[in-house]
Structure 1
């Protein structure tokens, strides 16, 4: 319950002191709030730095461990690869020798036939070009492939060639085509007949014999191809005596398995034991600073809480004891001193009169 003011001097001094204390407390509360925030950021920064150091250190140590094992694994893999290459070369050589051995009779037979063909041609006087596949296809066709070649040749010579020549002639006209066909048929057909008369007609029996001998060569070549294919498809290595290479490869595989097991064990030991030790060491090294910061933060928060409580108490006191008489507009030391002077000088008898007089003078 509000009581009448008996001592204005004490009232005004009390109001000024309360406002001064409120201002001081507010300033200190603000400062402690900033300080608390600074310390909290320092704690967060220290924790982050500690965690980053732990992560960087453990990652680096694990990388160092694995890189050593990986280097050894790479060396063994390179050695194994080198042995495998040597094995493949040795196998290829053995396969080549096996093919040569298993086709020796066929190759000797082919060589004998070729020698017989040369002797026949030399004895009769047959030109060299008669012992070619194209010649025998044109003059002694007897296989399906021969007739396919003949068909393709006819299409190219008597259809493709005339059209090509026709298009190459400047200002070509359709009337040119019959003449082009006539000339090509005359030249190619004449050449075919002349060559046939000079060779086929004169050496028919010998050429038929040569054709049969070439068929035998083709037959032997097909057999050689089949034998070669079968040997290449044979995946068994037993007959090639490659056991020394297999032993080296097996030893390399065992070594790789051993290194990988040790690598896994080292990683497991690091993750389960070493990593924790490193973490504890780094954490311990920053513990003192964190403890100091936490203690400082706790003290700052306690001070802040105490100051805040006192500021709140003073604020409520000002509201209850002074604001009800002075009003919010006059709750500052400058105006309070002005009111105090008006009353002490006898220009106003109470606070209300002093406020009215102050307002009249202020407004002119």
Structure 2
């Protein structure tokens, strides 16, 4: 229930004091709100920095640990590869020695046969070019590959070469082709007959004998290739006496496995124990700062709560006690002082008269 005003000065002074206190409380409430936000942000920043320091430190320590082990592992792997390479070279040497030993008779037989061929050619006065694969393919063919080579030779000599010559003649005309073929047939055929008369016709028996010896060399070469292939495909290493290399490789492999195991143990120890210890140490260092900030924030919240409660109480008091008389537009100290002066100077008898008079003067202005 609104009571009548008996003392206007006390009423106006009370209203001004209430508004002044409300303004002071509102300012303080805003300051405490901003301060609380700053403290809360500082706490979050400190927590994030702590988390980042933990992550960076543990990552760096783990990298330092693993890099040391990885360097040793790389050295151990390189040492093992070096031993394996030495073993491979030793095995290849033993294989070559075995091939040389098991094919010695065949190679000696080939060498003796070649010597016999040279002696036969020298004794019978046969030209050196007769001891070639091309000669025997053209004059003494007896293998399937010889006939294939003869067909290819005919194609090249009597097709490819004439066409190539024809293409190289400026302003070539089809009439030139018969003359080109005639010239090639005459040249190649004549040369073939001349060589045959000088060699095959004169030394037929010796050349056939040499052909047989050449076949023997070819057969010996095939047997050498077969023996070489069988030896290379033989996976058994016992006959090469590589046990000393195997022991060294086993020892190097054991060292490599031991380092890998130590690395695994070190990483597990770090992940399960050391990492937590590092995190606890960093948390302990920043824990005091975070605790102080939390205490400061708690004090701020209490102060803000008190200020907010008091501001609300004053605001309601102003609404109940003064706003009902003055209205919201006159809840300002300058206007209240103006109304107070009008009543004090007897220009107005009460608040309503003072408000009307104030508004009329403002309107005239």
What range is the shorter-chain TM-score in?
A: over 0.9
Q: Where does residue 185 of structure 1 map in the other structure?
A: 185
Q: Deviations over 1:318-357 (max 9, x none)?
A: 2222222222222222222222222222333333333333
TM-score scaled by structure 2?
Answer: 0.95
Q: Distance in 1 between matches of 2:46 and 2:198?
A: 106
Alignment of 1:29-48 (within 5 A): 29-48=29-48
Q: Where does residue 351 of structure 2 map in the other structure?
A: 351
Q: After TM superposition, where is structure 1 displaced by more than 3 Å over at least 4 residues in a row?
A: none
Q: 1:213 to 1:11 in 2, by over 3 A?
A: same
Tell me whether 68-77 or 137-146 shows the greater mean CA deviation.
Answer: 68-77
Q: 1:332 to 1:173 in 2, by over 3 A?
A: farther
Shift of residue 246, structure 1, vs aligned partner: 0.5
Alignment of 1:278-293 (within 5 A): 278-293=278-293
Tell me whether 65-74 or 299-308 shows the greater mean CA deviation.
Answer: 65-74
Aligned length: 364
2:80 is the counterpart of 1:73? no
Alignment of 1:165-204 (within 5 A): 165-204=165-204
Q: 1:326 to 1:188 in 2, by over 3 A?
A: farther
Q: Where does residue 123 of structure 2 map in the other structure?
A: 123
Q: Distance in 1 between matches of 2:328 and 2:181?
A: 123
Q: 1:239 to 1:3 in 2, by over 3 A?
A: same
Q: Distance in 2 between matches of 1:310 and 1:173?
A: 121
2:96 is the counterpart of 1:96? yes
Q: Distance in 2 between matches of 1:174 and 1:361?
A: 129
Q: Distance in 2 between matches of 1:244 and 1:283?
A: 56
Tell me whether 262-271 or 233-242 shows the greater mean CA deviation.
Answer: 262-271
Tell me whether 11-20 or 216-225 shows the greater mean CA deviation.
Answer: 11-20
Q: Distance in 2 between matches of 1:282 and 1:173?
A: 97
Q: Where does residue 134 of structure 2 map in the other structure?
A: 134
Q: Distance in 2 between matches of 1:150 and 1:357?
A: 138
Q: 1:176 to 1:31 in 2, by over 3 A?
A: same
Shift of residue 266, structure 1, vs aligned partner: 1.9
Shift of residue 69, structure 1, vs aligned partner: 2.2
Q: Distance in 2 between matches of 1:176 and 1:117?
A: 46
2:286 is the counterpart of 1:255? no
Task: Give the SS at the match of 1:4.
Answer: coil
What's the C-alpha RMSD, in Å, of the aligned pairs? 1.6
Q: Unaligned regions of 5+ residues in structure 2, if any?
A: none
Q: Distance in 1 between matches of 2:299 and 2:273?
A: 38
Q: Distance in 1 between matches of 2:351 and 2:160?
A: 127
Alignment of 1:304-319 (within 5 A): 304-319=304-319
Q: Distance in 2 between matches of 1:95 and 1:244?
A: 17
Task: Give the SS at the match of 2:356.
Answer: helix
Q: Where does residue 268 of structure 1 map in the other structure?
A: 268
Alignment of 1:241-252 (within 5 A): 241-252=241-252
Q: Where does residue 210 of structure 2 map in the other structure?
A: 210
Shift of residue 249, structure 1, vs aligned partner: 0.7
Q: 1:289 to 1:207 in 2, by over 3 A?
A: same
Q: 1:5 to 1:176 in 2, by over 3 A?
A: farther
Q: Distance in 2 between matches of 1:363 and 1:181?
A: 132
Q: Where does residue 56 of structure 1 map in the other structure?
A: 56
Q: Unaligned regions of 5+ residues in structure 1, if any?
A: none
Alignment of 1:81-92 (within 5 A): 81-92=81-92
Shift of residue 213, structure 1, vs aligned partner: 1.2
